[in-house]
Structure 1
């Protein structure tokens, strides 16, 4: 049975995988929508020029250009294209954030998407992207992709509320490997091939070592401490050594003794 940390790691990485899939779907669907909008604007401009050239045609004023998400107003195509480009750019940034590369860049310039923050900010941005796409009349593929990303954003916000700033650390593969290595080096096995390994040394082993150390200490004490005094002369005489006493002499600068005669 796996430890609880493993289930948290697996669950957060499942959400991470779904988040990457949702971002890729929104990225592809917005590129398709952008292409369709440009084609629809070109058709509208061609048909409007034909209608103005013919005197019998009636011009129909609509809020949106037919078959697109472009509003029929001043600079409508500019704002529609800019909106799609911003959404595509945001999905690219969030994809790099989910892959964790480059982490130094996000930690310095986008801290809310870095390693020190949780998944709450990521989920909020995903929900904003989904809401921005769903607020327009789009095709089925774009609709499903945006709704899927909005749902994953809600899951990321929930995971951010539960795990807070440690969410990205708990789902990181590198941190999992480092934790496994540290656990393997710090924890010693309690049994080897079914044989239990005692954590403390047996008493007879410690007694034997303490007895040997006591004897060595006694022998060292018996050998030391005699010096050059009477005890040293006695011990040397018992062992057959003769210590000669140096002759008494006066230094050169000492005064000579006076003669009594």
Structure 2
């Protein structure tokens, strides 16, 4: 039977593995979508050039050229549409790489200084929110099945990370950390193995050692003789003489003269 902390450790690390898998799928799908968009734009530009050179354009060609999106892509058919579509994919890829590094916890000093919400002192809520935003940004366009499944999976994992962040708060990353688990395991070693007590027991010294090296009996503290007659007598036996002070009047006191009868 494992302790409750072990189940928490296994559950949070399982969620981390799923999050890493979802980020890798989104990373791959964005590269595939970017390649398809570039190919579709090239085909669109070639068809547009052919339509311009051909004087007799039919209705189908005009509908294709006036479509809101480039056929077979997520690129809008508008000025600088290709630039913004490619920039969107590159930004998503960059964010996925940052989230992957934060899930691996490397470099921790970089995240603690420049991205504190993804560092070890924060929980999983911010990570889940970013994953949900990435999934929603991908699902807001018409994409292929691979990108659709990857974005749905990442969005679901982001919701689970937000839930874990609400439950464990800032201690979520410390609870799933392998190094903290090892440090805790060192302080929680078993005290018995198969019915044998392995706790350190203070054994008594051997008999020959106790016979040679004997402890000195503790002497009771001596009580003094005080400042009375016993103390004066004890001081006299030791050769100390205690003289009584001469009786005298203080300087400010006037001497009394005997009054005449």
Q: If the TM-score is normalised by the length of the shorter chain, which range does it land in? A: 0.7 to 0.9
Residues 44-123 of structure 1: pairs in structure 2 closer than 5 A? 44-58=44-58, 59-60=62-63, 61-123=66-128
**Cα displacement string for residues 176-210 of structure 1 (whole angstroms, at most 9, x for unaligned residues):** 001111233xx8x37895459798999xxxxxxxx
Q: Which runs of 4+ in 1 moved over 4 A?
A: 190-193, 195-202, 218-221
**Cα displacement string for residues 1-39 of structure 1 (whole angstroms, at most 9, x for unaligned residues):** 000000000000010000000000000000000000000
RMSD: 2.9
Unaligned runs of 5+ in 1: 203-211, 222-228, 232-261
How far, CA to CA, are the matches of 1:196 and 1:87 in structure 2? 55
Partner of 2:217: 216
Contact 1:190 1:198 in 2 (8 A): no
How far, CA to CA, are the matches of 1:145 and 1:190 in structure 2? 49
Aligned pair 1:16/2:16, yes or no?
yes
Higher helix residue share = 1
Unaligned runs of 5+ in 2: 205-213, 223-235, 239-261
Report the TM-score when normalising by structure 1: 0.75
The structure-2 alpha-carbon separation of the partners of 1:108 and 1:76, relative to structure 1 and needing over 3 Å to count, comes to: same
Residues 1-261 of structure 1: pairs in structure 2 closer than 5 A? 1-58=1-58, 59-60=62-63, 61-184=66-189, 189=191, 193-194=195-196, 216-218=217-219
How far, CA to CA, are the matches of 2:220 and 2:129 in structure 1? 79
Partner of 2:254: none
Contact 1:25 1:145 in 2 (8 A): yes
